[in-house]
């Protein structure tokens, strides 16, 4: 029996905890020997719990069937183990890398990654930022890693997919499960052009405590983690903690101090995370990537293409997100004039509409 097959068999049987697997390997010297332990030997292992021991003995009893399943699963999914050469280099160096990762889609190692994470209950500001920065970074050739959750995660994935960038979604459940179910089409899109990664084999139902564990893979795969929006107790802060432990860069987006949804990110900045004001702040962690010379907006070239009235609107919006009502009031134009100017600017890709008829630069 090959060492690698034995490891995958153990993982498929439910031995997910990388630390338990490490203990087993040290005890037996190799995973293939783990599968031929006797009951008494199992009992005498220290460092793993009774549940794990029960799992192990049933594993050994059904060894043959288990190995068969292992071959089937290997046909269906790409699997990388810590024993393999091609195991992602960055992930290898974290405190407890997953022994086995299951992959769906097209996994590549040949680009630097940034994790973009944040609260599921995101505000329009957060969604804008996740979308905006994931686009900018994708255009620079940086892959975006996130967790496929609602809110910030989904915005980051979608922003990347929109500009045909490369994105990795790290799942908190089995590799073939879609959670949340509403993200089915997002899941499929990522599978087509990016990759889905999970520490858990097919058929594993997501558990509450799997998600924090999943976060260490998000940060582990990435060179830096960018927390876009997080409340006082958001799970995104766990990812930031992992990133710090793993020696990765932590970035955070500043927010309104009165806004609870930004309390976590603001605190991160106070505690030393790098504040992100523009794309270049993120790019500092990627010296091999050329810093953005000016974007379309910064270059000012667009100014020549706008009419006087359009410029007037643009200048007001450039001051900060502004409600249509306020534009009408400040510009002293009719509602229909302002509406049509806004549409023109929107179609030119210079501004973006947020809920509540609020406009902001794109």
Report the interface residues with another protein, using CB under 8 A: 120-121, 123-125, 150-151, 154, 180, 182-186, 258-261, 323-325, 328-329, 332, 335-337, 339-344, 346-347, 353-357
Q: Which is nearer to another protein, 91 or 186 (CB)?
A: 186
Min separation Cβ 295 and another protein, Å: 18
- Tell me if 313 sits within 8 A of 333, measured CB to CB: no
Q: Which is nearer to another protein, 131 or 199 (CB)?
A: 131
Q: Say how far apart CA 27 and CA 37 lie, in whole Å.
A: 10
Q: Which is nearer to another protein, 74 or 259 (CB)?
A: 259
Q: Which is nearer to another protein, 104 or 183 (CB)?
A: 183
For residue 356, the SS3 value is coil
Q: Which is nearer to another protein, 71 or 329 (CB)?
A: 329
Output the CA–CA distances (angstroms, integers) from residue 156 to 116, 229, 304, in the order listed.
Answer: 7, 12, 32
Min separation Cβ 166 and another protein, Å: 20
- Tell me if 227 sits within 8 A of 236, measured CB to CB: yes
Helices and strands in the chain, H and E counts: 18, 12
Min separation Cβ 349 and another protein, Å: 8
Q: Give me 229's structure tokens.
A: 């929006």
- Taking Cα atoms as reference points, which of 67, 66, 112, 73 lies closest to residue 89? 112
Min separation Cβ 138 and another protein, Å: 19
Q: Say how far apart CA 61 and CA 303 lie, in whole Å.
A: 73
């Amino acid at each position: 029996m090959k060492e690698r097959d034995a490891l995958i068999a153990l993982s498929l049987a439910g031995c997910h905890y990388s630390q338990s697997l490490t203990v087993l390997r040290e005890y037996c010297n190799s995973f293939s020997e783990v599968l031929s332990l006797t009951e008494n030997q199992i009992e005498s292992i220290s460092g793993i719990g009774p549940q794990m021991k029960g799992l192990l003995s049933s594993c050994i009893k059904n060894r043959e069937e288990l190995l068969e399943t292992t071959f089937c699963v290997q046909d269906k999914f790409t699997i990388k183990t810590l024993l393999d050469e091609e195991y992602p280099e960055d992930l290898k160096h974290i405190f407890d890398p997953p022994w086995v990762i299951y992959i769906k889609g097209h996994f590549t190692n040949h680009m630097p990654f940034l994790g973009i994470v944040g609260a599921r209950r995101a505000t329009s500001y957060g969604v804008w930022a996740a979308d905006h920065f994931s686009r900018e970074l994708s255009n620079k050739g940086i892959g975006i890693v996130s967790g496929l959750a609602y809110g910030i995660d989904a915005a980051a994935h979608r922003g990347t997919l929109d500009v045909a960038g490369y994105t990795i979604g790290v799942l908190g459940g089995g590799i073939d499960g879609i959670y949340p179910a509403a993200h089915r089409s997002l899941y499929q899109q990522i599978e087509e052009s990016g990759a889905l990664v999970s520490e858990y084999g097919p058929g594993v139902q997501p558990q509450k405590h799997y998600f924090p564990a999943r976060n260490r893979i998000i940060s582990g795969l990435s060179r830096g983690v960018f927390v876009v929006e997080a409340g006082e107790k958001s799970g995104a802060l766990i990812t930031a903690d992992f990133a710090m432990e793993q020696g990765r860069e932590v970035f955070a987006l500043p927010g309104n101090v009165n806004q609870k949804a930004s309390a976590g990110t603001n605190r991160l900045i106070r505690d030393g995370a790098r504040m992100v004001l523009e794309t270049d702040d993120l790019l500092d962690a990627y010296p091999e990537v050329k810093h953005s010379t000016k974007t379309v907006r910064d270059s000012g070239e667009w100014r020549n293409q706008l009419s006087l009235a359009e410029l007037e609107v643009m200048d007001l919006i450039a001051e900060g997100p502004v409600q249509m009502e306020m534009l009408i009031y400040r510009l002293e134009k009719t509602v229909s004039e302002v509406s049509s100017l806004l549409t023109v600017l929107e179609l030119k890709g210079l501004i973006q509409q947020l809920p509540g008829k609020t406009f902001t630069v794109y």
